[in-house]
Amino acid sequence: QVQFVESGGGLVQPGGSLRLSCTVSGNIFRFSAMGWYRQAPGKQRELVAADTRHGITNYIDSVKDRFTFSRDGAKNTAFLQMNTLQPEDTAVYYCNTHPPRSTWGQGTQVTVSS
């Protein structure tokens, strides 16, 4: 059974940084493109960053040069380093395959506020 467990969120001031982690179970990590998604209050969930099995990562324009996606295959874990956070980055962040499976983790809340 595939499971996604996200962690690392929190409350941070504008301009601050956070590093999110996502551990994936179910023996799919090595073979799957992965994505980080977020859902802000009152908005639809959106794809923030996605990698491919060939090491290419794509980002939405609003996070380019601020967010960095990485993965550790030995630990079945994906990371999202988020720098220069802004209030509009406030959301629940999720990881999933890209494109996503129907099962989602609980997500991790990121709140950017002074």
**pLDDT tens-digit map of 26-37:** 888 888 899 999
Q: What pLDDT score was predicted for residue 16?
A: 98
Query: Tokens 């601050």 identify what position?
Result: 16
Reply yes or no on whether the pLDDT at 53 is more than 80.
no
* b/e code 9-37 from CB counts within 10 Å (16+ = b): beebeeeeebebbbbbeeeebeebebbbb
* Spatial separation of the C-alpha atoms in residues 30 and 78, rounded to whole Å: 11
Which residues touch 27 (CB under 8 Å, ≥6 apart)?
none
Q: What pLDDT score was predicted for residue 69?
A: 95
Q: What is the mean pLDDT of the chain?
A: 94
| 9, 109 contact by CB (below 8 A) | yes
Q: What pLDDT score was predicted for residue 44?
A: 97
Q: What pLDDT score was predicted for residue 9?
A: 98
| pLDDT tens sequence across 54-111 | 778 899 999 999 999 999 989 999 999 999 999 999 999 999 999 999 999 999 999 9
Q: What pLDDT score was predicted for residue 39?
A: 98
Percent of the chain that is helix, strand, coil (3-state, to 5)? 10, 50, 40
Mean pLDDT calculated for residue range 9-36: 93
